[in-house]
């Protein structure tokens, strides 16, 4: 029985989402929780998140025994066996051929910043900047909409041969004391969003211009190679 799960997690406690030998990843903890209730399965995540990156709407699917018909109960039991930093939000049965990664049509990420100094209770979850030029960032972030070769917006050494991605929409807005960068795309390269946000923050600081951004998108000039820190990034939603 193929089941689709939506989960949220605090990435600050883990070395990323994908399984690693050290065992300190989201996938490792999920597999451990399944084994505790005698389910031996393979997890397919919708996408990878790096160390310190969080999720409010990560998706994975896996095969479980057919006697688990009560998925609400399964959710409760799994959450009891997971660390408090990982929560299963819901689970539902899907077609046997459903694939969390390959069938995803859109992935939504948010990056959070604030100009209000952080404290010990929120420092792992939001990025502090001294100032932000809201109008300039609102204008600049729209430059990412479209289909581009994001070769200059991905981590050097990544194993992706094809670096073209389509960004469907972007926006930048303020909610109370928090500024939000929002990106919607079909998929992303490793560190792509953090590199995009890093560029936008340099534009806000006056160190780079929108023209510099356009030139980097067109691979005419590589002006910035510095990603924003990971702790402000959230995988918010995956649509199918």
Question: Phi then psi for 86, rounded to 5 degrees?
Answer: -130, 130
Q: Can you say whether residue 146 is alpha, beta or left, with left for phi > 0 and alpha for psi between -120 and 50 degrees?
A: left
Instruction: Give how far Cα 189 sits from Cα of 8, 15, 27, 32, 97, Å.
Output: 21, 18, 20, 28, 25
**CA-to-CA distance for 126 and 186, rounded, in angstroms?**
25
Q: How far apart are CA 228 and CA 199, in angstroms?
A: 8
Which residues carry out catalysis?
50
Phi-psi region of 134 (alpha: psi -120 to 50; beta: other; left: phi over 0): alpha
């Amino acid at each position: 029985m193929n089941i689709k799960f939506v989960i949220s997690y605090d990435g600050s406690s883990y070395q990323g989402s994908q399984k690693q030998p050290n065992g300190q990843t989201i996938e490792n903890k999920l597999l451990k929780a399944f084994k505790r209730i005698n389910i031996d399965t393979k997890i397919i995540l919708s996408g990878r998140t790096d160390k310190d990156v969080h999720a409010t709407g990560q998706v994975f699917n896996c095969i479980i025994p057919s006697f688990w018909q009560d998925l609400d109960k399964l959710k409760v039991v799994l959450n009891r066996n997971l660390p408090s930093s990982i929560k299963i939000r819901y689970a539902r049965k899907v077609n046997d051929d459903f694939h969390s990664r390959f069938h995803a049509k859109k992935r939504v990420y948010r990056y959070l910043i604030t100009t209000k100094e952080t404290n010990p209770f929120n420092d792992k979850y939001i990025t502090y900047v001294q100032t932000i030029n809201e109008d300039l960032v609102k204008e600049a972030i729209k430059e990412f909409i479209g289909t581009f070769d994001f070769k200059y917006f991905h981590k050097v050494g990544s194993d992706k041969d094809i670096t073209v991605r389509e960004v469907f929409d972007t926006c930048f807005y303020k909610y109370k004391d928090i500024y939000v960068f929002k990106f919607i795309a079909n998929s992303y390269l490793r560190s792509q969003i953090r590199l995009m946000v890093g560029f936008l923050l340099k534009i806000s600081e006056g160190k780079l211009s929108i023209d510099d951004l356009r030139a980097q998108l067109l691979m005419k000039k590589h002006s910035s190679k510095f990603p924003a820190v990971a702790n402000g990034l959230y995988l918010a939603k995956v649509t199918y």
